[in-house]
Amino acid sequence: MKLYGIPNCNTVKKARAWLAEQGIEMPFHDFKKSGIDAALLQGWMKQTGWEKLLNRQGTTWRQLPDEVKQHTSDEAAALALMLDKPSIIKRPVLELEGRVHVGFDADTYARLFNR
């Protein structure tokens, strides 16, 4: 059980606040500071697909050159981009009981944690 993200991300803040309100202690991995492992990302991609992990709505994506955006059209290119710029990974990523959940929704978390 672990939560991955960036502490100053609003969605990560909401997830962490929800967990705290429920009294759930959760290890947190800041992948902007600590990086992210290629094997871990590949495992997530197998469960969710690379498209779900790649945050095309955020500032990091918008600031990329158009050439990079156009080139990011398959799993290998997305993996390389996420390893190079971890802040482009959609947040938070929750690992729970061998499953990966991307993003935060209070109702989904309530279901996942039987609350």
Nearest Cα residue to 93 out of 35, 28, 42: 28
Rg for the chain, CA atoms, rounded: 14
What CATH number does the domain containing 97 carry?
3.40.30.10
* pLDDT, tens digit (0-9, with 9 covering 90-100), for 19-30: 999 999 999 999
Question: What burial letters (b/e) apply to 7-27, b meaning 16+ CB within 10 Å?
Answer: eebebbeebbebbeeeeeebe
Q: What are phi and psi of 101, to 5 degrees?
A: -125, 125
CA–CA dist 39, 37 (Å, integer): 6
* pLDDT, tens digit (0-9, with 9 covering 90-100), for 17-66: 999 999 999 999 999 899 999 999 999 999 999 999 999 999 999 999 99
Residue range of the domain that includes 74: 2-112
Confirm if 91 and 98 have CB atoms less than 8 A apart.
no
Question: Choosing from 4, 5, 9, 93, which is the catalytic residue?
Answer: 9
Overall domain count for the chain: 1
CA–CA dist 69, 77 (Å, integer): 10
Determine whether 22 is an active site residue: no
Please state the pTM of the whole predicted model: 0.93
* pLDDT, tens digit (0-9, with 9 covering 90-100), for 56-104: 999 999 999 999 999 999 999 999 999 999 999 999 999 999 999 999 9
pLDDT, position 32 = 85
CA–CA dist 42, 87 (Å, integer): 16
